[in-house]
Each structure stands twice: as structure tokens, then as C-alpha cells.
Amino acid sequence: MKILITGAAGFIGTNISMHLLSKKHTIYGIDNFDNYNSLKLKKYRIKNLKKNKKFYFKKIDITNRKVLLKFVRDKKINLIIHLAAQAGVRYSIINPNKYINVNLLGFMNIIFAAKKNKIKKIIYASSSSVYGDSKKYPVKEDDNLNQKNIYAVSKMLNEKMAETYSKISNIKFIGLRFFTIYGEYGRPDMFLFKLFKNSFNKKVFELNNYGNHDRDFTYIKDVNIIIEKLIYIKSQNHTILNICSNSPVNILKIIKTFKKKIFVRVKYIKKHQADILKTHGDNLKVKKITKYINFSKFNDNLFKIYSWYRDNKIYKL
Ligand SMILES: NC(=O)c1ccc[n+]([C@@H]2O[C@H](COP(=O)([O-])OP(=O)(O)OC[C@H]3O[C@@H](n4cnc5c(N)ncnc54)[C@H](O)[C@@H]3O)[C@@H](O)[C@H]2O)c1
């Protein structure tokens, strides 16, 4: 199958590309090499992917409708996995306009490109942040949503756009509410790789909210398999799925476990205004649809991913 992956130079995009290439799909990756995260890292990920002859890359900004449309038409794409976005909760306080531009306009262009080219399915990234702080856990897909920042609002609106277009087009949409995905090639702006980098460079690691956060960490290799299964599944017009392990871990506990083996200096600081205290999702729906039930345990992976980090020099730059 010819699959377009947007945000292919990003953390999840690179992992899914690798996984689907190993399953003999042809991957057309696009990314604008946005400088929100390390450019060196993005180029390194794409260089790795290009070793496979079935991977094609083009630098495209999804807000440029004309260029995007031409690419999708010329490559005769069968399916879109849309991951490109301005990510990050805290940065949305500083630069909200970028979220509106990339996450809303960009997504509209993706839908438009699919519609014009009669593409039947779009699998797109939403986020657990659409739930906000909840009163009861684990959160289920049809629970009330309560966004706390513009990033979350942009993801909620993506879901509304998908819902609308699933009714007025022949495109089937699957929206993935990702819950703190972690793993190899991870994001340098997220907790785990920040912790690793500060520890490795002997710098102080600032721990928000004194570590009193719980996160439903979800391993990227579980995500890869789930997405692969979703490609083939006959779904309804619009399906929303929690992509989570249903197993939240306390951040302070992670720090304590990590410090037992690896040195890191920690500065305990107060909560950031954009942060959510806890994420914990119910994953019954995704288990039922995909029959994938064996989610990895965070504690089994922590030091494995740290070793991977240590062996990948680019991450320390
Ligand atoms: N990683 C997580 O835990 C997590 C959690 C919830 C939701 N998500 C969502 O999953 C998706 C992938 O996340 P990620 O962690 O891989 O993020 P990432 O930042 O590593 O990847 C996103 C990629 O999109 C690219 N991009 C940004 N603007 C673009 C534009 N205008 N045109 C083309 N490409 C553009 C970036 O350069 C980047 O390579 C995002 O939509 C994100 O919001 C991720």
C-alpha cells in the first residue's frame, strides 16, 4: 500500500514509518523540518529511513495546500497517516497562533487532499489532552472533554472536523488520542528524554509540580502494531480511540527508580499552568477493535530506553 505519513521526521512518524516499511508498505514521508525540536535529530531520523528503498521523503509544509495536493495526486496515495502538528502543551501558551495555523489549517488541507484524490481513510493524531483534568479515571472515549490549553483545543477541533467530513465525504477517519508516547527516537522536549539529557550532561533537571504527576505512558512499539492493524480494519465513518496502556505511573516514582542506578540532580519546581495532573485512559475500545492486548509496562522499558539513548550520540547534542 502507498501510505502518506505526515510528520515523518517526528518521533511517532519515524517509528511508524520504520514499522510499516518492515511490513513492505511504500512510505511517502513529508515534514517541513519545523525548528520547534532539534533539526539535527529530524534530519538524522530521515537519513535512517532513507536507507530503505521503499521510503520517499519530501520537505512539504502541510499549510501549503497547492504543494500538498500536487504531491498526493502525483504519488497516488492510498491512505494517510496524519501526524504532523505543532505539538507541546506548554509552548501553546507562548505561541497559540502556530497551533491554529498548523493543526487546523494543515488538517483541513489534508482532508481536502484526501477528498480530491478519493482516498478512503485518514488515521490522524489527536491527544489525551482533549480530556483535561477529569473527575474520574480511567477516561473513556465518550466522556466529557475539558481542554485546558490551545493545543488541546486544536486537537478537539481536529476531531470535530473529522466528524463533519466523515458525514459529507467518503473518507473514513480514525482519531488516535495518544497518551504520553515514549520510546526509541523519542521527543527531546518530553519528560523522559529531557531527564536522560540532563543526567548525561550533568545538568540540573527541573521537575514540575514536584513530580506529583501521573502519566499513562504508552510504548511506541505498541502504537506501531495498533496503527498497522487499524490500516486493515473496516471502521465506522469516524472512530475515536484512546491509545494508552491503562497503567499510569507516578513521575516522582520514576525519578526515584532512575536515581537508584543513574546520577541526576533534580530541582523540584511548582506546577506549570498548562499541565494536567493526571492522565489515565481506558483502552478497552482499542483492545476490542484491534485484538491487541499486551501493552508494555513502563518499568520494564525505562533502562532499556536509557541504554538506547546513551548509544545514540545525536541525542546528546
Ligand atoms: N508524543 C506524544 O506523546 C503525543 C501525545 C499526544 C498527541 N501526540 C500527537 O501525535 C503527533 C506526532 O507527535 P510526535 O510526538 O511525533 O511529535 P513531533 O513533534 O516529534 O512530530 C511532529 C512532526 O510534524 C512536523 N511538522 C510540524 N509542523 C509541520 C508543518 N506545518 N508541515 C509539515 N510538518 C510539520 C514537525 O517538524 C515534526 O517532525 C502530533 O500530532 C502530536 O500532537 C503526540
Q: Render pLDDT for 130-162 as a digit per residue (tens, 0 to 9).
A: 999 998 999 999 999 999 999 999 999 999 999
The ligand 1 atom at the shortest distance from the C-alpha of residue 124 is 41
Residue 195 alpha carbon to ligand 1 centre in Å: 20
The strand pair at 214-215 and 249-250 is best described as antiparallel
Domain count for the chain: 1
Q: What is the pLDDT of residue 316?
A: 65
Q: Model confidence over 25-57: pLDDT tens digits?
A: 999 999 999 999 899 999 999 999 999 999 999
- For residue 200, being part of any structural domain is answered with no
Q: Which residues pair with 182 in a beta bridge?
A: 219
Residue 74 lies in a domain: yes
Is the confidence at residue 10, as pLDDT, over 80? yes
Q: pLDDT tens across 67-110, in order?
A: 999 999 999 999 999 999 999 998 999 999 999 999 999 999 99
CATH number, residue 232: 3.40.50.720
Pocket of ligand 1 (CB under 6 A): 7, 9-13, 31-34, 37, 42, 61-63, 83-87, 102, 106, 125, 127, 178, 180-181, 187
From residue 35, alpha-carbon distances to 85, 100, 144, 197, 241 in Å are 12, 17, 34, 19, 29
Residue 88: left (phi > 0), alpha (psi -120 to 50), or beta?
Answer: left
- Among 11, 64, 157, the mutation site with the greatest number of ligand 1 atoms within 8 A of its Cβ is 11
- Residue 198 covered by a domain: no
Pocket test for ligand 1, best of 181, 217, 220, 224 (most atoms within 8 A of CB): 181
Which of 317, 225, 211, 291 is closest to 258 using CA atoms? 211
Going by the DSSP 8-state scheme, the letter that residue 211 receives in this structure is G
DSSP character string of 111-127: HHHHHHTT--EEEEEEE
pLDDT of 28: 98
pLDDT in tens, 260-284: 999 999 999 999 888 889 999 999 9
Q: Cβ neighbours of residue 174 under 8 Å, at least 6 residues apart?
A: 121, 122, 123, 124, 230, 235, 238, 239, 240, 241
In a domain, 303, yes or no: no
Which string of DSSP letters, residue by residue, matches 170-210?
A: S-EEEEEEE--EE-TT--TTSHHHHHHHHHHTT-EEEEGGG
3-state secondary structure at position 74: helix
Residue 206 has pLDDT above 90, yes or no: yes
Residue 315 pLDDT greater than 80, yes or no: no
- Domain of 103? 2-186+216-246+279-298
What is the CA(85)–ligand 1 centre distance, in A?
A: 4
Give the orientation angle of helix 298-311 with respect to helix 251-261, to 10 degrees: 50
Integer-rounded Cα Rg, in Å, for the chain is 19
C-alpha cell at 196: 536522560
Ligand 1 mean position, distance from CA 261 (Å): 31
> pTM for the complete prediction?
0.98
Active site residue 151: yes
pLDDT at 131: 97
Residue 168 lies in a domain: yes
Q: Which residues pair with 139 in a beta bridge?
A: 281
Q: Is the pLDDT of residue 313 over 80?
A: no
**Quick count: other Cβ atoms within 10 Å of Cβ 197?**
16
In a domain, 230, yes or no: yes
What's the mean pLDDT in 191-219?
A: 96
Residue 141 forms part of a structural domain: yes
Other Cβ atoms within 10 Å of 133 Cβ, number: 11
* Cα end-to-end distance, the chain, whole Å: 36
163 within domain boundaries? yes
Residues 123 and 82: beta-carbon distance below 8 Å: yes
The pLDDT of residue 317 is: 59
Reduce the DSSP state of residue 148 to 3 states and report it.
Answer: coil
Contact 54, 24 (CB under 8 A): yes
